[in-house]
Amino acid sequence: MAMRNRKVLRIANRDLPFQLVLIAFGIVTFFPLVLVVITSLKSNTQFYHNFWLPELPFQFGNYSSAFRIIWRYIVNSVIYSGSTICLIAIIASVAGYVFARFSFPFKTVLFLAFIMLIMVPGVLTLAPRFVLVRDLGLVNTPFALISVWVSGGLVLSTWLMRSYFESLPQELFDAAYVDGAAEWQVFFYVSVPLARPMIATVAMTTLIASWNDLIWPLVTITDKDKMPLAMGLMQFSSDFETDWGTLFAGYVISSVPLLCVFAVAMRQFISGLTSGSIKA
């Protein structure tokens, strides 16, 4: 027992300088967030009277009045991002599987049609794409967002899925074929279950990209009750410009959805990106 304690102490001692720097860094990181939460519980009078510290009574009413407005945007975003994620997961796994497992005429050309788009920045296509979507009559509908988010996300997702399916050993598929599985059965019962970690990564990147996209909704959506969260927050922040408590309560509420997702998937997310396989 004593020895173990000494060992723990030694480790703690060696880590101490690093820990101190990290703690300082952590405090600076969380300070703005804590201040936002503190302010969200104040009335304007309390805020102007005391900028830094929490003050009684807490104004929980801020949260209910902010929620009355924000909930609509959150629901919209959940619907838009949710459909985008489902579509990308399905389309990218099928396409990735086809590219990884089969050889057929024009395969290289078709794959290049995907992969070359990695170098085409969104800012180049922004203006002509708006004209296209407008001429298709999609402006101010959810399809304007979903179609463009899906096609944009497909580029990287298909590539990721293809690399993943390629890394699976051939014996696995041979075994399924020998057992008499049809190709679609091999896909559904062997490949997709194995690719679950990669599908999760694809879903996560798609979620973050679509959830945070501001510019595209800004040019295609005009109705207040169709706005996704990012755009709705901009509207909200100009509507409640000087009502600091309600404003910050809205900010806190709108951070909750991603917080929930990451509470569940944080470990997977971190280990996926730090596996060291990502290189230039």
Comparing CB distances to other proteins, the nearer of 64 and 124 is 124
CB count, 10 Å around CB of 254? 21
Residue 164 touching other proteins (CB under 8 A): no
Residue 268 touching other proteins (CB under 8 A): no
Return d(Cα 227, Cα 220) in angstroms, integer: 10
Q: Which of 25, 60, 71, 189 binds other proteins (CB under 8 A)?
A: 25
Residue 137 touching other proteins (CB under 8 A): no
CB count, 10 Å around CB of 207? 22
Q: What is the CA radius of gyration of the chain?
A: 24
* Contact region with other proteins (CB under 8 A), list: 56-64, 78-86, 188-196, 229-237: 229-237
Residue 168 DSSP class: S
Q: How far is the CB of 125 from other proteins (least distance, A)?
A: 4
Cis, bond preceding 32 (omega within 30 deg of 0): no
Q: Which of 6, 34, 179, 183 binds other proteins (CB under 8 A)?
A: 183
Q: Which of 75, 132, 172, 175 binds other proteins (CB under 8 A)?
A: 132
Looking at the chain, how many residues does it have? 280
Residue 229 touching other proteins (CB under 8 A): yes
Residue 224 DSSP class: G
Residue 195 touching other proteins (CB under 8 A): no
Residue 124 touching other proteins (CB under 8 A): yes
Residue 86 touching other proteins (CB under 8 A): no
Q: Which of 98, 203, 221, 249 binds other proteins (CB under 8 A)?
A: 98
Return d(Cα 85, Cα 265) in angstroms, integer: 15
Q: Which of 221, 229, 82, 237 is nearest to 142 (CA)?
A: 221
Cα 261 from chain centroid? 9
Q: How far is the CB of 211 from other proteins (least distance, A)?
A: 7
Place of tokens 């969380």: 30
Residue 21 touching other proteins (CB under 8 A): yes
Beta-carbon contacts of residue 122 (< 8 Å; ≥ 6 apart): 152
Residue 33 touching other proteins (CB under 8 A): yes
Residues that bind other proteins (rule: CB under 8 A) add up to a total of 95
Residue 192 touching other proteins (CB under 8 A): no
Q: Which of 37, 79, 110, 200 binds other proteins (CB under 8 A)?
A: 110
Residue 119 DSSP class: G
Binding residues among 51-70 for other proteins as defined by CB under 8 A = 51-52
Q: Which of 170, 178, 180, 223 binds other proteins (CB under 8 A)?
A: 170
- Terminal C-alpha separation, the chain: 48
